[in-house]
Amino acid sequence: MDIDRPSDPQVSVVSSDGTMFHTTLKSILLSGTIKDMIEHIGEGGVENMGAIPLQNVDSKTLEIVIKWIEHHKDNIQPTSEEIKDKTADFIDPWDENFLEMDLDKLYNLITAANYLNIPQLLWLSTRKIAMLIKNRTPQEIRSLFNIEDDWTPQEIEAVQKENQWCEEK
Amino acid sequence: MSESKEVQNRKRKLENEYETEKEEEKVKRILYSKPELLDLADELLMEIAKKLDGESLHNLSLTCSHLKTLVQDKQLWTEAVFTEKDLDIWEILRRLKYLTVGTKYLKIYGDAKKANTETRPLKNRQTFKEIVKRIALRSPLIERLHFHQIWFDWTKDWSITKFPSNLRSLVFTNCYLPKDRNRMNKTFTNIFEHMPQLEELRLEYCNFFEPNDLMPLSKVLGLKVLSLRGCKRFRNCVPYISLSCRFGFKNLEVLDLRETNISDSEMQCLNSLKALKELLLEQPEMDNASDDSDDESEFQPFIRTNNRRSSSRNEEQQPSNGSTNNNSNQEPSSSNQNQQPLSHIPQPSTSRNSHENNDNNDFNNSPSSPESLSDSLPESSSPTEEAPSRTIFIQANITENPNQNARLQVIISDDIPHASRYLTLARNREYRAPLTISDRGMLAFGVPRANLAGNLIFLGNQPNDPNTYLERIVLRNFRNITDVTLSHLQTNAPKLAFLDIRGCSQITREAVESFKITRGSCQLISNFDFEE
């Protein structure tokens, strides 16, 4: 290891609409996708590496992602495959606050987290949607997420008819 | 002509322009419009769905056909949990459709409560049978089942063998047998053959547990956890529990008998459970018990059985007469002499029994008007004190001839001291539980030191090992548990790591402190921890 080398070099990423963002190697390594890329470049290549193009993430979303990875660069092991189980109730208040955003941004974030392979961010953002679905009636879910009711009358009838008699006493 | 051609060309050009504009709009809409939930890839929708419980998934599936298909994915249903609301039978059956071959766990909440016994849907049908049938059909390999508040209305031909046989854990909590149904006796017969893998069985706050169920349950070789918490019918079951503990329950590690009517006699059987590590006992709260109307119905069979036993004497001695209150004071001595052959050998005297001796109550009871009962305590000082049996006069409606107010006798010998509980109950219309555990019950674990044993007499062989190897004990709200128990556990329970004696009001601060000093590694929770 080169002692003189800065422990956390700068890295640039470019969004799909051409905006460039600067962040540090340590934070960007939280993304499994970029980690794989950098590993392929090999030792010593990081400093000379140009900006990393991210074709599938627009600038607004990338900004959010970078904010998140910079906050968490020290408390998450990039290699950890640990996904919290679905009953985990404790969420870092910072994350909870961070996820307060419009639904469309949240969808983009989910897609980006998936593309960039950031398991913890994917877990958090999908959980956020799940929490919105929880304890809501089908009608409420429809109006919240703009889902079109596409049942045909026949289907509705079929659902109502499916109740069968139980066996006699 | 040329002009019209020009016009046509222009027209075409315009149309083309319009077309391209339309296309662009479409592209623009796709590119810049706000994304919707359904625009997410199915893989990501699945990530969301994985974080939902069964009930939310069900609601999601009702929104549109795309999500319905998605929700039916079997990887979402390895654990099916429907606990968000109390479901009626129709809703339960609808939820069971999500079960798949891969489902390992089902937890479902029904709507069974005493209050809606009459209004439950399909009350003339065996709804529980239908539920079990469907589970066994859809998920024959299911490993854990938890029923909560389900109507236990499957009574005809009920058998545990209709359940899926791969179960490791079977839990019933607050399941309710409607009063108009009679449970089959052989409910759990053959459970040991049918569910060889069963490790955990909980029947908590269920009114369908009967003490004889202990026999088949004791044969389940792999059973590690048994909970009968809150089963009020766990009482007076020394025959069953002594046999089942001596010859069965070979691997039982955790036994939860909180809020049951366990007494010292049953406790003395538990010491033959060699594998037992955790024992949980708790005296039920008086407040909760008073609104338990179950006890009222349990009073009836007791009266009836005693009625049969002494009916011939009733005819001789007691002409049917509605108003015999005045005579009651003279009756006991004479009837007691008559009843001598029925009397039983009294048990060794203990603190509890001596307490019972004072409960020598003669009183009349009419179930229809409990307020008019009279209670003549002075009888306890009569010569009958030496006789082991007591005579109590009860004025009751006998079921055989309901028109007549016949008088019947109930003999309570010393070996069923609990009987006074029913009489107290009937008199006050309020539940009191004289059934409790005292030091005698706890000293049965291991052999107490001579100075602790007091007047305790061992009948038969003493256990070889003076120690008990229980690791965790919960003993809550027992007024008859004293420092004696604590002192015994201090020296004769080497593996004890946890002891909860909250609510045992007789235990003194000195005993607790002495225990803590000598047994530093054992966590002791007492009332004194919550003072100051």
**Per-residue pLDDT band at B457 (split at 50, 70, 90):** low
**A26: distance to nearest CA of chain B, Å?**
26
| C-alpha pair distances (Å), B471 with each of B14, B441, B483 | 90, 17, 19
Euclidean distance between CA atoms B485 and B436, whole angstroms: 14
CATH number at residue A86: 3.30.710.10
- The whole-number pLDDT of residue A91 equals 75
**Per-residue pLDDT band at A88 (split at 50, 70, 90):** low
Looking at the predicted structure, is the pLDDT value of residue B374 above 80? no
**Per-residue pLDDT band at B293 (split at 50, 70, 90):** very low
CA B62 centroid distance within chain: 36
**Per-residue pLDDT band at A19 (split at 50, 70, 90):** confident
Q: Tell me the one-letter amino acid at B212.
A: N
**Per-residue pLDDT band at B172 (split at 50, 70, 90):** very high
**Domain-embedded: residue A169:** no
Inter-chain residue contact B41 with A150, CB threshold 8 Å: no
Q: State the average pLDDT over residues B66-87.
A: 90
Q: State the average pLDDT over residues B136-152.
A: 93
Looking at the predicted structure, is the pLDDT value of residue B420 above 80? no
* From B16-25, B47-56, B96-105, B288-297, the region with the lowest mean pLDDT: B288-297
Element (DSSP H or E) covering residue A21:
strand A20-24
- The whole-number pLDDT of residue B309 equals 42
Structure pTM? 0.69
**Domain-embedded: residue A166:** no
- The whole-number pLDDT of residue B379 equals 39
Inter-chain residue contact B62 with A138, CB threshold 8 Å: yes
**Per-residue pLDDT band at B276 (split at 50, 70, 90):** very high
Q: Which residues of A touch B40 (CB under 8 A)?
A: 107, 110-111
Inter-chain residue contact B60 with A162, CB threshold 8 Å: no
Looking at the predicted structure, is the pLDDT value of residue A52 above 70? yes
- The whole-number pLDDT of residue B495 equals 92
- Whether A107 and chain B come into contact, CB under 8 Å, resolves to yes
Nearest CA in chain A to B182: A169
Q: State the average pLDDT over residues B364-377.
A: 39
DSSP H helix total and E strand total for chain B: 20, 15
**SS3 helix, strand, coil % of chain B, rounded to 5?**
40, 15, 45
Looking at the predicted structure, is the pLDDT value of residue B238 above 50? yes
- State percent of chain B over pLDDT 90: 29
Euclidean distance between the first and final Cα of chain A, in Å?
A: 79
* From A89-93, B190-194, B205-209, B386-390, the region with the lowest mean pLDDT: B386-390
- The whole-number pLDDT of residue B306 equals 40
Looking at the predicted structure, is the pLDDT value of residue B406 above 70? no
- The whole-number pLDDT of residue B80 equals 93
**Per-residue pLDDT band at B455 (split at 50, 70, 90):** low
* From A30-39, A112-121, B139-148, B294-303, the region with the lowest mean pLDDT: B294-303
- Whether B52 and chain A come into contact, CB under 8 Å, resolves to yes
Q: Are B237 and B204 in contact (CB under 8 A)?
A: no
Q: Find, among B266, B294, B262, B181, the residue nearest to B436 by Cα.
A: B262
Q: Nearest 5°: CA angle at B236, between B230 and B239?
A: 120
Q: Which residues of A touch B66 (CB under 8 A)?
A: 150
- Whether A86 and chain B come into contact, CB under 8 Å, resolves to yes
Looking at the predicted structure, is the pLDDT value of residue B313 above 50? no
Instruction: Decide: residue B64, CB within 10 A, 0-12 exposed, 13-18 middle, 19+ buried.
Output: buried
Report which of residues B358 and B102 the model is more confident about.
Answer: B102
Q: Are B36 and A114 in contact (CB under 8 A)?
A: no
Closest CB from A147, A149, A169 relative to B37: A147
- The whole-number pLDDT of residue A16 equals 86
**Domain-embedded: residue A142:** yes
Number of domains within chain A? 1
**Domain-embedded: residue A167:** no
**Domain-embedded: residue A164:** no
- Interface A-B, measured as beta-carbon pairs within 8 A, has a size of 106
- The whole-number pLDDT of residue B501 equals 92
- The whole-number pLDDT of residue B351 equals 39
- Whether B50 and chain A come into contact, CB under 8 Å, resolves to yes
Q: Which residues of B touch A17 (CB under 8 A)?
A: none
**Per-residue pLDDT band at A43 (split at 50, 70, 90):** low
Is the Cα torsion angle B411, B416, B417, B420 positive or negative in sign?
A: negative
**pLDDT tens for residues A91-146?**
778 888 888 888 888 998 999 999 998 888 888 899 889 989 988 888 899 888 88
- The whole-number pLDDT of residue B382 equals 39
- The whole-number pLDDT of residue B288 equals 45
Q: Are B221 and B193 in contact (CB under 8 A)?
A: no
- State percent of chain B over pLDDT 70: 67
Report which of residues A95 and B138 the model is more confident about.
Answer: B138
Inter-chain residue contact B124 with A169, CB threshold 8 Å: yes
Looking at the predicted structure, is the pLDDT value of residue B395 above 50? no
- The whole-number pLDDT of residue B311 equals 40
- Whether B78 and chain A come into contact, CB under 8 Å, resolves to no
* From B52-66, B346-360, B413-427, the region with the lowest mean pLDDT: B346-360
Q: Please state, as a whole number, how many other Cβ atoms lie within 10 Å of the Cβ of residue B438.
A: 23
Q: State the average pLDDT over residues B441-455.
A: 78
Interface test with A, best of B63, B98, B107, B133 (most A CBs within 10 A): B63
- The whole-number pLDDT of residue B158 equals 76
Inter-chain residue contact A141 with B63, CB threshold 8 Å: yes
**Domain-embedded: residue A158:** no
- Contacting residues for B107 by C-beta, under 8 A, at least 6 apart: B80, B81, B82, B83, B145, B146, B148
- The whole-number pLDDT of residue A29 equals 84
Interface test with B, best of A55, A124, A133 (most B CBs within 10 A): A133
CA B375 centroid distance within chain: 34
Report which of residues B476 and B116 the model is more confident about.
Answer: B476
Report which of residues B2 and B327 the model is more confident about.
Answer: B2
- The whole-number pLDDT of residue B459 equals 57
Report which of residues B103 and A160 the model is more confident about.
Answer: B103
Q: Which residues of A touch B36 (CB under 8 A)?
A: 107, 145-147
Most confident segment among A94-98, B54-58, B158-162: B54-58
- Whether B34 and chain A come into contact, CB under 8 Å, resolves to yes
Closest CB from B62, B93, B126 relative to A163: B93
Q: State the average pLDDT over residues B505-519.
A: 90
- The whole-number pLDDT of residue B415 equals 53
**Per-residue pLDDT band at B414 (split at 50, 70, 90):** low
Euclidean distance between CA atoms B508 and A147, whole angstroms: 66
- The whole-number pLDDT of residue B360 equals 39
Domain that holds residue A145: 10-149
- The whole-number pLDDT of residue B1 equals 52
Report which of residues B388 and B52 the model is more confident about.
Answer: B52
Inter-chain residue contact A133 with B60, CB threshold 8 Å: yes
- The whole-number pLDDT of residue B153 equals 85
* Beta bridge partners of residue B226, listed in sequence order: B201, B255
Closest CB from B59, B84, B126 relative to A169: B126
Looking at the predicted structure, is the pLDDT value of residue B418 above 80? no
**Domain-embedded: residue A154:** no
- The whole-number pLDDT of residue B428 equals 41
**Domain-embedded: residue A3:** no
Inter-chain residue contact B130 with A167, CB threshold 8 Å: yes
**B119: distance to nearest CA of chain A, Å?**
16
